[in-house]
A and B are shown apart, each in its own frame.
Chain A
Amino acid sequence: MNDRRPIPIAQPGMTAWGRAAERDLETYARETALASPIDLTDRVMAAIEAQSPSDGRRSIPMMAAFGAGRLRMAWGLVVVLVAMLGGAALVGGASAIIGRDIGAPTEGSPDGRPILVADPTATTTQGADDPTPEPIDAAVPPKPLEHDAVEATEAPNVRDATDDPEASDEADGTDEPEATADADDGDEETDSDEPDATDEPGETDEPEDDSDGGEPQEPDGASAS
C-alpha cells in the first residue's frame, strides 16, 4: 500500500552528467592554475602610457597651452579693439563725406574734392555730341545757352515751337522750360543770360548767330569747379 516512492524531478542520469562535467571542469581548473607572467603589469602599464600619456607628462604642455591661449586671447582683444576704432573712424569720415551729397555718384578730383557727376539723361539738353559729363554742382546750365544748343542741333520740336510763337508759349508752359515764354516768372539767370529769347524768338532761329547757338558754351561753373 505505502510502497510508492517519490518520483525524482530531475533524471538521475542527467544529474550524474552534470556532476561529471563539474568534476572535469574542476580538474581542468586545477591543472591550469598558473601564475600570471611577471612582466604582465609592466606591459599593461607601458601600453596604456604609450596610448595615453599620463597627466604628469601632460601637465606642462597643458599649462603652456593654457598660457599661450590667454596670450592669444589678449592679443585678439587688442586687435579687435583697434579694428573697431579704425572702423569707427572710417565710418565717421565716410559719413561726413557722403553727408554733403547723398545719393549722387561721385568721382574723385585731383585735389581730393568729390565731383558729382550729372545724370546722363540730363545731358540731352546739353548736347548729345558732348560726351564729357557735366558737373552738377558747377552750375545749372543757363537756359539761354541750352536753348541755343537745342536750336543748334535743330531739334524739330523746338524749331516748330519757334515758328509758331503762340504754340511755343503753350509748349513752354508745359514741357519745355528752356523755351518758356513766361521766363519772367522770376528766374534771374534766365533773364540775365537770355534776355531776348522770349521777346524776339525770331532771332533765335537765325543760324548766323554763332555766338549763341553755334557752339554751346561751357558753363562758367565748369571751370570754376
Chain B
Amino acid sequence: MLDPTEPATVLQVDDHTLVDTIIAGDRDAYRMLVERESTTVFRCCYRVLGHVEDAEDVAQESFIAAFRSLASWRGDGSLRAWLAQIATRRALRAASRRARPASLDDRPDGGDLPGEVDIFRDSDPAAAVSAAERAAQVREAVTNLPEPYRETIALRYFAELSIDEIAWTVDRPVGTVKVHVHRGLERLRAALSEESVA
C-alpha cells in the first residue's frame, strides 16, 4: 500500500509498482499518479488547445481514459510519456473539432511553478496582443500539420518528451522519430512564414 501523504513517495515510486498497485484496486495510488503527472498533461492540452477550460476538460478525460486502460500500458516506456500521448491525441482531436480562437481571457492565473515565465503578465497590452497572436499562429500551424509530424512535434515540444520517449510511445525507431521531427519543423516553419507574409 502506498502512502499518498508522503510527498517523497509520489516522486520516488516506480511506474511499475504504481501501476500494479492501481490495478490491484488502490485508488489512492491513482490519485498520486494524477497529482504527479497533472502538470504535464494539462500543459500539453493547453498548448494544443489554447483554452484553459477546454484543456481542463481534455486533461480530465485523458486521466479517466488512462485509468480505464491502465492494464494496456506496456511498461517499456515511461508512464508519463504514455499519459502525454493520450492527452496529446485527445487534445489534437478536440482542436480539430473546434476552431475557436484563443483569447487573452483564456489565460489562467498561472505562474505558480518554479521557473515559469508568463509573458502575458509583465508586458504592455500591445506586446501581449502580439504574443498572443504569435502563439495562436504556432498552435494552429502545429495543429494543421499532417500526421505523423503533428503528433511527433506535439509530443516533442508541447509534452516535452525526449526523442527516446517518443520512440517508445509511438513504437517507432529513434531514427524515424528524428526524421519526423526534422521534417515537421521544416513544414512548420514554412507554414509560419506563409502566415507571417499573409
Contacts and interface: CB of A to CB of B under 8 A. Distances in A.
Contacts of B113: 33-35
Interface in B104-151: 108, 110-113, 115-120, 131, 134-135, 138-139, 142
B63 A44 contact: yes
Given A21-B192, A36-B59, A31 B118 contact: yes
A141 to B, nearest CB: 86
Interface of chain A, main secondary structure: helix
Interface string A17-50: 1111110111111111111110011011101110
A34 B192 contact: no
Interface stretch (B12-20, B31-39, B92-100, B168-176): B31-39
Contacts of B111: 34-35
A14 to B, nearest CB: 6
Nearest to B31: A45
Contacts, number: 121
A34 B42 contact: yes
Contact of A14 (B60, B115, B186): B186
A31 B63 contact: no
Given A41-B34, A44-B60, A49-B27, A25 B186 contact: no
Given A17-B189, A55-B25, A47 B112 contact: no
B189 A34 contact: no
Task: Assign chain B's interface to a size class.
Answer: 35 or more
Contacts of A31: 117-120, 131, 135
Contacts of B112: 35
Task: Assign chain A's interface to a size class.
Answer: 20 to 34
A21 B188 contact: yes
A33 to B, nearest CB: 5
B119 A41 contact: no
Given A24-B189, A24-B192, A47-B60, 6 more contacts: A21-B185, A25-B138, A33-B110, A37-B42, A37-B56, A37-B108
Interface of B: 25, 27, 30-31, 34-35, 38-39, 41-43, 46-47, 52, 56, 59-60, 63-64, 67, 108, 110-113, 115-120, 131, 134-135, 138-139, 142, 153, 157-158, 160, 182, 185-186, 188-190, 192-193
Interface of A: 14, 17-22, 24-37, 40-41, 43-45, 47-49, 51, 54-55
